[in-house]
Amino acid sequence: MGEVVGAGLVSHVPTIMLPQEIRYELNEGKEISLVTGFHRLREEVLDVLKPDTVIVFDTHWATTVEFIVTAHARRTGKYTSEELPRGMCQVPYDLKGNPDLARSIAECVKAEGTPCTPIDDPYLPIHYPTVNLAHYLEKGEEWLSIGVCMTADADDYLSVGRGVGEAIRKSGKRVVLLASGSMSHTFYPLKELAKHEASDPKHIFTAAAREADLERIDWFAKGDHARVIDTMPEFYKHRPEGGFGHYLMMAAAIGGRDCHGKGRLFSDYENSIGTSQVHVWFDRPENGWTG
């Protein structure tokens, strides 16, 4: 039987892909903790867990009429971002896939009543919430990506996560889940961006958004996923990235409201031009996610 051996809510912020000297220049002469956090995650967590498969819930892959899961045997090439081509330019990637698991995920999600399709088209675009994580964390595992759906609500995301969890149990694989995206997510206007590039959370777009993020980080630390899920209507006021679908799918795959996996920080809580950025890692409890 397969299992989720660990899960994380992790940042993919483009600044992590900039040269070190530019990162220091933007951040008042200091490294952003997200970079050192990725190195720690690889060395202290993934190198220990040795997962067979990594599934990324990708907040920049926005679909419309269904959820999509990548079903390629391999995705390889170079990535240049249409959004930020100076900072993310010709980034190489070479990711092994698992078509059987992708098809099983689609079947299990559809059994939950939510449309989902596996796609192996070699021209299917890849997005930087997957590429940037792989740049720091990939070491030959199978990597699958699942997008967010622009017409979905919280219940849809939870159903996708339940289907992912069921497919993993059937797979015989040791799987890590990465919810790739931020919490509150509002940018400053272009004329003001340069004044808010440092990582200090005082630059988060509003004090209320910062307080809402920190409140949920505290709930993560306590393993109180039920409270996070049940207060989504309030959190939507702060425009979480991807409707917080990346977190909801991840959480549902490990038990949803019944999950008690406690989160520990692998970075500071940081700003990026108004948006929140943080790495929170959830270790599998000894007695299981819902024990």
- Please give the average per-residue pLDDT across 170-181, as a whole number: 98
Tell me, what's the pLDDT at 250?
A: 98
- Please give the average per-residue pLDDT across 116-138, as a whole number: 98
Tell me, what's the pLDDT at 16?
A: 94
Q: What is the mean pLDDT of the chain?
A: 96
Phi, psi of 67 (to 5 degrees): -90, 150
Compare 287 and 121 and report the one with higher pLDDT.
121
- Domains by residue range for the chain, with CATH: 3-283 (3.40.830.10)
What is the per-residue pLDDT across 44-95, written as a single tens digit (0 to 9) for each?
A: 999 999 999 999 999 999 999 999 999 999 999 999 999 999 889 999 999 9
Residues 6+ apart with CB under 8 A from 128: 12, 14, 17, 60, 79, 81, 83, 88, 91
- Please give the average per-residue pLDDT across 174-195, as a whole number: 97
Contact 282, 261 (CB under 8 A): yes
Compare 232 and 23 and report the one with higher pLDDT.
232
Three-state secondary structure of 82-95: CCCCCCCCCEEEEE
- Please give the average per-residue pLDDT across 230-259, as a whole number: 98
Tell me, what's the pLDDT at 290?
A: 87
Residue 168 pLDDT more than 80?
yes
Tell me, what's the pLDDT at 30?
A: 85
- Please give the average per-residue pLDDT across 263-284, as a whole number: 97
Tell me, what's the pLDDT at 291?
A: 66
Sign, CA dihedral 228-233-238-239, equals positive
Tell me, what's the pLDDT at 28?
A: 82
What is the per-residue pLDDT across 214-228, written as a single tens digit (0 to 9) for each?
A: 999 999 999 999 999
